[in-house]
Amino acid sequence: MDSISICRDAIKLLQERDFFVKESLNSLWNLFQERKLSRRTFMKSCVALTAILGLPPALTNKVVAAAETKELPTVIWLHGHECTGCDESFIRSTSPFASDVILNMIALEYDDTLAAAAGEPFEHHLHHLLESKKGKYVLAVEGGVPLDENGSYCQVGGRPFVDVLKECAEGAAFIIEYGSCAAWGGIQAAKPNPTNTVSVSSIVKGKKIIKVPGCPPIPEVMTGVIMHYALFGEIPPLDVEGRPKQFYGNRIHDTCYRRPFFDSGLFVEHFDDDASKAGWCLYKVGCRGPETYNSCGNLRWWNGLSYPIQSGHGCIGCSEKGFWDNDNFYQRLPHIHTPNTITDVDTLGTVAGFGAFGAVVAHGGITLAKHKYDSIQEEKKYLAEQEAKQKEVEQKGSDQ
C-alpha cells in the first residue's frame, strides 16, 4: 500500500470518529451535537456562561437561544510591543476553559503565538481572512504600538506593527484591546518612552473598541468579553473609558476582604509587622485598590485561588492608565477618607497604634462626632430658613 492510500485511509478514519468539525457547524449547539454531547451538558454550559458574563439568571434563556443560533465569530489576534503575558493569562482561563473557547466557541484563525503554523503560508492565510471575512471578524490586539523610527521597534513578518494593525483594523467589526499595553501603551510607554509607544486607540479611529486593561487581565475577563460577542453578536455595555462594566464596574477597594480593617483604621505599617501577619489593610504600604477598577476581588486568579492583596501585597493598579508612572508602588495614596467619618486614614491609623479595641472605639467616637456635627449643621440651616421666612412675613406686612 502506497503512502497516499495510507493518508486517505487515515483521514477517512478520523472523519468517521468525528475528529474534524464539519463546515456546516456554525453555532455552539451544532458543535455540541456533532461531538455527541447531551442537551443537559449544553444547558449547564449556558448557565455557566450566563454567570461569567455577569448576567442575571433571568437571561439564561436568551443565552441558550443565542448559543443555538449564533454563528461562531472569526477572531484575528495580533501581537505588538509586549511580552505575550496576556496570551499566557488567556490560556489559563477555567470558566470557560481557553481550550473550549478556542476550539468550540470562536474561530481563532490567526494568533502567531498560539498557532502551530508559521512563516509565509501563515501570513498568506491572514491576508485571505482580511478579504474573505471583511467586516465580520473580531480583531484582538495585544501590545502597544511603537511609532519612532517609522515603527521599526516592533516588526511582524518583516513589516512595522503599526502598518499591520492599520491593515487589519480596516475590516474589523470591532477591536478588543487586551492588556494595559494595548489599552494605555504599557510599561514601554513609561517615561521617557524612548520608542514613542502608544495605545491601539491612539492609532485606530472610527471603530468600536473594547478596552480590557490589566498586566495581564484576569483570564475569565478575557474569555468573558469575547464570549459576550459570540453569544449576542454585540459588544457588552462599556463605561466612560471603554471598559466592560460587568468586569470594571467596581473598585478593588469596594470588594476587598480587607475593607473592614480599612473602615476601622487598622493598617499595615511595614510588611514584616504584626499587622501584616494579622491581615490588616495594606493601604499605608502602597495599595492602590481605592482607585483601581477591576474584578480581582470577585473573580481572583487561577480558578479563584487568590489575588495580590490576598497574597499579602498591595494592588499596584495595573489596569489603570499610566500606573507605571503614578507614584511609588510602596507609597500610600494621599487623602483617602474613610466612610461615614470626618477624618482620614492618618488620624485613624494613629489611633490604631493603641490597639484594635482602641481603634474601633475611636472610630465609633469619630463617627458619633460626625453625626453630632451633621445635626448642628442641620439645626443651623433650619434656624436660618425660619429667620428668612420671618423676615419675608415682616416685609409683606410693612408693604401693606
Q: Where are the domains of the chain?
A: 15-71, 72-245, 250-400
pLDDT in tens, 217-264: 999 899 889 888 888 888 899 999 999 998 999 999 999 999 999 999
pLDDT of residue 229: 86
Question: What are the distances in angstroms from CA 307 to CA 245, 304, 327?
Answer: 20, 8, 22
Whole-number pLDDT of residue 206: 92
pLDDT tens column, 187-222: 999 999 999 999 999 999 999 999 999 999 999 899
Kind of pairing, strands 138-142 and 74-79? parallel
Class of the domain covering 250-400: few secondary structures
Which has the minimum average pLDDT: 177-181, 232-236, 391-395?
391-395
CA–CA gap between residue 317 and residue 289 (Å, rounded):
7
pLDDT of 340 strictly over 80: no
Contact criterion met (CB below 8 Å) for 107 and 97: no
Q: Do domains 72-245 and 250-400 have the same CATH topology?
A: no
Answer for the pair 330, 284: CB distance below 8 angstroms, yes or no.
no
Using a pLDDT cut of 90, give the percent of the chain over it: 48
pLDDT at 342 over 50: no
- The CB-side HSE value for 224 (13 A sphere, CA atoms) comes to 27
**pLDDT value, residue 37:** 79
Q: How far apart are CA 329 and CA 365, in angstroms?
A: 33
Residue spans of alpha helices (H) in the chain: 3-16, 28-34, 39-52, 60-69, 85-90, 98-100, 119-132, 161-170, 179-184, 219-232, 245-248, 252-255, 259-263, 274-278, 296-299, 345-352, 356-399
CATH number of 72-245, picked from 3.40.50.700, 3.40.47.10, 1.10.760.10, 3.40.190.290: 3.40.50.700
Is the backbone of residue 398 left (phi > 0), alpha (psi -120 to 50) or beta?
A: alpha
For residue 282, what pLDDT is reported?
96
pLDDT of residue 25: 47
Residue showing cell 495580590: 308
Q: CA-CA distance, 93 to 99, in Å (whole number)?
A: 9
pLDDT-derived band at 382, boundaries 50, 70, 90: low
Q: What is the pLDDT of residues 94-125, one digit of tens each?
A: 877 777 777 767 888 899 888 888 888 889 99
